[in-house]
Amino acid sequence: LDAPIDLAPLLGAAAGTLRVHLADTADDADAVARWAPGIYTVALLVQPPGLPPLLSNELPLVLAPRIVLGSLAAAAGDFALNLTCTPRIRDGQRVFLLFGDRLLAPASLGNPADMQQPTALVFKLTGVAAGRYTVRLRVDGADSIPVDFSGSAPAFAADQQVVVS
């Protein structure tokens, strides 16, 4: 990003812990454009009264892209896969689609003029055989998460798979 994003930490649930809330569109209509998917570093700056500021070491934080597939079904052979991504992808970011065992660059990538809208991407797939394919979007090394953790056991999320027949 062009500049660091400073966030004030909140007290954590346990003594001696802190937490930070990254606003989503429910909290901040501009969150889609404020953040970018990818790998960040985080550090804590503490200003004890009467002492110089203390800066912690930096740790990695992965902000995974969230994708919405345009279609969950396709006919075998050649087809275009449309999807949207939040947060929005910025110029210069490396973007790939992982479709089953394939790695593809986008055929097109566009950000609408409305900064609150997600990035739209199109990928051209060729010679795809019938089957169920898990889809992930990789932006600067951060992959979308195709797993649903809400059940009793994690499973691939149906809305992150394309059934080709």
- Global pTM reads 0.88
Count of alpha carbons within 13 angstroms of residue 65, beta-carbon side = 34
Q: pLDDT at residue 1 above 80?
A: no
Q: Where along the chain do its domains lie?
A: 10-63, 66-164
User: What does the DSSP 8-state code read for residue 144?
Assistant: P
Pick the CATH number of 66-164 from 3.30.930.10, 2.60.40.10, 3.40.50.300, 2.40.40.20: 2.60.40.10
Residue 52 has pLDDT above 80, yes or no: yes
Report the percentage of the chain scoring pLDDT > 90: 78
How do residues 62-114 score in pLDDT, each as one tens digit? Answer: 999 999 999 999 999 999 999 999 999 999 999 999 999 999 999 999 999 99
Supply the DSSP symbol for 140.
T
Report the mean per-residue pLDDT for the chain.
93
Q: Is the pLDDT of residue 136 over 70?
A: yes
Identify the weakest region by mean pLDDT among 17-21, 57-61, 79-83, 129-133: 17-21
* DSSP letters spanning 27-79: T-TTHHHH--SEEEEE--EE--TTS--EEPPPEEEEE--EEEES-SEE-SEEE
What's the confidence (pLDDT) of residue 162?
97
